Amino acid sequence: MKWNFEGKTILITGGASGIGLKIATDMAENGANVAIIDLNQEMGNEAVEKLKAITNKEILFFHGSVSDKVFVDASVDAIFNKIGDIDFLVNCAGILRDFLVSRFDEAKWDLTMEVNLKGAAICSQAVVTKWVNLSRAKAKEKGEKYLPTLDNKPRVVIHVASLAAEGNAGQLAYSASKAGVIGMTLTMAKELARYNIRTHALKPTLIETPIIGNLLKKDDGKFRSYYEGRIPFGIGKTSYVSDPVCFLCSEGGYFMNGAIIPINGGKMDGL
């Protein structure tokens, strides 16, 4: 066991696959209860089976879209009823719909914003509203407006953005959605610190997961060689994103807020 998340609960969106599933697995292996929101029912059910095989803690799966506010609010209510308070929220659900500015595609633009940006906002509001209300109720008991942060339970929101937020040819909507996520992160970090809530964003480069489809298989492996050559430390693994998430949720991350962390494989000039 690398970390100690005994007694903690994480809600992870997009937790049925790729980076989200790795974070869910690491959290479960290190003692946390895990709740997943994901649009892919089959993969969500498989994830539950996999996680239940490694832990006797609570594992919950809610099938639906992060952009459906009624569904997300109901899912968060259900987690509070079944497990209790959430400690960490990781907004990891995301989609990739690539196009150039000269080939602007309104449907792809809207869907990308709907999932990557609005979805992260909807999930954040659902969880953060609970946290703020809990904090205010405790402060009221003490006759205070805000509970001193030291009397308050530390909580963390992590958005999985992307290095594409710095711009990447062919990813107009995706990069804009992820840049939006970073702006949202900094705003939440400023708004929520008084409630002892930390908000961060991670900006990974290329990580080998289902979201990139057959990109690395294209042209008899020439694409793989191209990306291996472009990123100094090579193509990323999901653990390179999960490990920083675990750190930020651990006691070691206590004093950090509003961190925008590049997970760049050593590449200093974008993707």
Ligand X SMILES: NC(=O)c1ccc[n+]([C@@H]2O[C@H](COP(=O)([O-])OP(=O)(O)OC[C@H]3O[C@@H](n4cnc5c(N)ncnc54)[C@H](O)[C@@H]3O)[C@@H](O)[C@H]2O)c1
Residues between 90 and 149 that touch ligand X (CB under 6 A):
92-95, 115, 119
Among 17, 135, 152, 199, binds ligand X (CB under 6 A): 17
CB closer to ligand X, 11 vs 192:
11
Is the Cα dihedral 142, 130, 252, 186 positive or negative?
negative
Regarding 67 and contact with ligand X (CB under 6 A), the answer is yes
CB closer to ligand X, 204 vs 253:
204
Let me know: does 203 contact 167? Beta carbons within 8 Å: no
Is the Cα dihedral 48, 97, 72, 85 positive or negative?
positive
Let me know: does 124 contact 181? Beta carbons within 8 Å: no
Report the nearest approach of ligand X to the CB of residue 147 (Å): 32
What's the burial of 42, exposed, middle or buried (CB within 10 Å: 0-12/13-18/19+)? exposed
Interaction pattern, residues 238-267, with ligand X; x per rule: CB under 6 A: ------------------------------
Tokens of 85: 């308070």
CA distances from 256 to 17, 156, 190, 196, 253 (A): 28, 10, 12, 11, 6
226 is catalytic: no
Is beta strand 88-91 parallel, antiparallel or unpaired with respect to 59-63? Answer: unpaired
* Region near ligand X per CB under 6 A, out of 10-18, 23-31, 70-78, 218-226: 10-18
How far apart CA 178 and CA 134 sit, in angstroms, is: 30
Among 31, 40, 138, 224, binds ligand X (CB under 6 A): 40
Among 11, 24, 39, 72, binds ligand X (CB under 6 A): 39
* Region near ligand X per CB under 6 A, out of 33-41, 99-107, 132-140, 147-155: 33-41
Report the nearest approach of ligand X to the CB of residue 42 (Å): 10
Let me know: does 88 contact 160? Beta carbons within 8 Å: no
Among 9, 30, 185, 209, binds ligand X (CB under 6 A): 209
How far apart CA 155 and CA 237 sit, in angstroms, is: 26
Among 12, 76, 157, 207, binds ligand X (CB under 6 A): 207
Among 11, 33, 34, 38, binds ligand X (CB under 6 A): 38
Longest dimension (CA), the chain: 68
How far apart CA 105 and CA 108 sit, in angstroms, is: 5
Regarding 210 and contact with ligand X (CB under 6 A), the answer is yes
Report the nearest approach of ligand X to the CB of residue 224 (Å): 13
**Residues binding ligand X: what is the number (CB under 6 A)?**
30
For residue 99, list its beta bridge partners.
171
Residues that bind ligand X (CB under 6 A): 13-14, 16-20, 37-40, 43, 65-67, 92-95, 115, 119, 160, 162, 204, 206-207, 209-212
For the annotated catalytic residues, the residue numbers are: 174
